[in-house]
Structures are given as structure tokens and as C-alpha cells.
Amino acid sequence: MKNLIIFDLDGTLLNTIDDLGCAVNHALALRDLPQHGMEEYRTMVGNGVRKLIERALPQDAQDLVEDCLKDFLAYYTENIDVHTKPYPGMDALIGKLDGEGCLLAVASNKFQEGTAKLVERFFPGIDFVAVFGNRPGYPLKPDPELIREIEDLAGRRCGEALNTIMVGDSDTDMKTAANAGIASVAVCWGFRSRAELEQAGAVRFAETAEELYSKIQEVKA
């Protein structure tokens, strides 16, 4: 049996909050709308960029979602890695798991272009089975369809049964794993609190990359 480890991106592999927040604030500033602090954005992310814009806009300005989204995407795509960086030890962890023969994938609710750009930028040389973000016609997490698609690709690549593990920082990731019937490990350095993760059903937690490696070993086949 082959181990397939699927990672969330924002809040799990990469700390992207400052670049996301700056891009939203840029779109808000163009319209003289109130901006938000970076800590506020931690509770707004996780369900795709459209939902992020909706949450950032005042209730009486929801008609501006489409225009703000266009300005956000233009700015963010150009400035996607100004402040973004891997969480401590995560680049080394990915390299170690890859070297041990694990199948690796990324499943994000970030738009596809941004997801692919960041993974290529920060994890070069890693042969991911799939790097999937939000693509037209596909549902967002916690719908398990994305996991099923990755498992299908991984199974065809290795020709073996799979032991799939989801690693994420949010209630969305934990619900995705539960909906897909796979094991999960929750990281505690991301955008959601441990209490939220516990409420979403998380039973394994990692405070550091080293602890995450140990938790993965516990559930590897």
C-alpha cells in the first residue's frame, strides 16, 4: 500500500495571509472602503477568493464583489509572493517525505493559477501527483470530489492501493477528510484555532513540522 499525503496550501504549507490581505486592501482602497488588519483576514480566508472578498466588503457594498474580485486577482497574481513564505520546516518536510517515496499532492481552495504559481515557487523539484486549486466546474472543499480525483491520479501512477492522509489547518480541511473517509492531521500554526479544529473533528494535532512528521508516521501504512 502506498502513502498519499495531501496538503492544504494557505495556512498549512505557506503563510500567505499578508499578501492576501494586502491584495484585498488594495481593492478596497480603490473604492475608498474600510480596510482590515492582517489578523482580521485570518478568519476570512479558507473558502475561496470570492468568499474572501464578500467577507471583506461591507454589507451595503456586496454589489461590488465582481469588480473588487477582478482588482484583487490582478494585484494578487502580480504580488503573490512578496511576503509569503513556507512555515518553519515545511520545505524540508516535503523534501523528506518525497525522498521516502510518499506520493504528495496539494488541494487548495485558492484559485488554480495562484495555487500552481506558489507551489512551483516554493517547492521546486517536487514531483507532486497533483497541485489543484479552485478550478471552474469543480466544487470547493469540503466536497470530497477533489480528494477522489487526486486519489485516482495517484492510484494510476503507482498501481497500488492507497493510504491517504489529509494535512490542513482549518475546519474545512478536517471536514474534507471526514467526507472523503480518510485520515487527517491538523496543524496548529495556521489560520484557525485548535478549538475550531477540534470542533470540526480533528483528533491528531501538530505544533511543529517535526511533530507533523511524527503524526504522519503514526497513520502511514
What dihedral angle (degrees, nearest 10) is formed by the CA atoms of 181, 172, 4, 131? 140
Q: What letters, b where the CB count within 10 A reaches 16 and e where it falls short, cover 120-147?
A: eebbeebebbbbbbbeeeeebbbebebb
How many CB atoms within 10 Å of residue 186?
29
Longest dimension (CA), the chain: 56
With contact defined as beta carbons under 8 Å apart, do 141 and 170 qualify? no
How many CB atoms within 10 Å of residue 12?
25
Half-sphere CA count of 212, side-chain side, radius 13 A: 29
Catalytic, 67? Answer no
Show the CA angle centred on residue 210, arms to residues 206 and 213, nearest 5°: 75
Residue with cell 477568493: 49
With contact defined as beta carbons under 8 Å apart, do 45 and 190 qualify? no
Which of 8, 19, 71, 171 is catalytic? The answer is 8
Nearest of 168, 177, 148, 125 to residue 10 by alpha carbon: 168
The catalytic residues are 8
